[in-house]
Amino acid sequence: MSGPAGVVLATDRASKRKEEKRNRLLEAARKLFVSKGYHETRPQDIAREADVAHGTFYSHYTDKREIFLAFASSAQEDLHAFVQSKIPDVKSFEEYIRYSLTAIQEFAEQNPGLLRSAMVDTKVFDPTDSTSKEVRSKFASGFIIRLKNACDTGELYDDVDPDLIGHAMVGLIQFSAPHAYRKGQSRQEFVDHMTRFLTRALVKNPENMS
């Protein structure tokens, strides 16, 4: 095919091939970062896993840090979407926490090693990165909204700061969930412990909290 139509078709095919290779690199990076860790993963390892030339890596990503940021952002979005899909219409803060924590643990079980990356602060790797702030704030927003609603109905103590506590809960889960997994605690044990802790700390009159 010749002429403008042929040029457009060829350009479209080239664009699709480029996107396909970029996705393969990202999938390979996801696999290696989870299994080997950030420091033990090299750009050439990612290229090899993706079955592309080493130089192809650098036509898509500047360095290992850049592809890790892309991977972490994708993992964070996956976690956020998964958790939100698992929370029904609940009536209390305690129910919301229980469903949220259960969903987070379920995500971790279905995606071994991914939770740590999904909740990492990417500013550790790039102080100028805005992705971490945006995604982590998005993830915290579910807690913040529920905290605000619970404050408005008088369910929580009057001096609770929903924005501060919402972000604190993200950090709490970030460190406690992997630790519980390493200890060999079951999903239910983790959910029960954390739900009791947060409910007793924030709710005025926690009920049925043994």
For residues 24-48, average pLDDT: 92
pLDDT value at residue 97: 93
State the pLDDT at residue 150: 94
pLDDT tens sequence across 85-116: 999 998 899 999 999 999 988 988 888 778 77
Q: How far apart, in Å, do the first and last CA atoms of the chain sit?
A: 74
List Cα–Cα distances, 71 to 35, 60, 103, in angstroms.
14, 13, 21
Give pTM, 2 decimals. 0.75
CB 49 within 8 A of CB 28: yes
**203 bridge partner residues:** 156
pLDDT of residue 122: 65
State how far the Cα of 202 lies from the Cα of 155, in Å rounded to an integer: 9
pLDDT in tens, 37-63: 888 999 999 999 999 999 999 999 999
CATH architecture of 1-61: Orthogonal Bundle (1.10)
String of DSSP letters for 137-174:
HHHHHHHHHHHHHHHHTT-B-TT--HHHHHHHHHHHHH
CATH fold of the domain at 71-204 = Tetracycline Repressor; domain 2 (1.10.357)
For residue 43, give the amino acid letter: P
Q: Write down the pLDDT at residue 12.
A: 74
For the chain, the structural domain boundaries read 1-61, 71-204
d(CA 172, CA 169): 5
Do 204 and 157 touch, CB atoms closer than 8 A?
yes
* Four-CA torsion 178, 184, 188, 193, nearest 10 degrees: -70
37, 115, 128, 23: which is closest to 76 by C-alpha?
Answer: 115
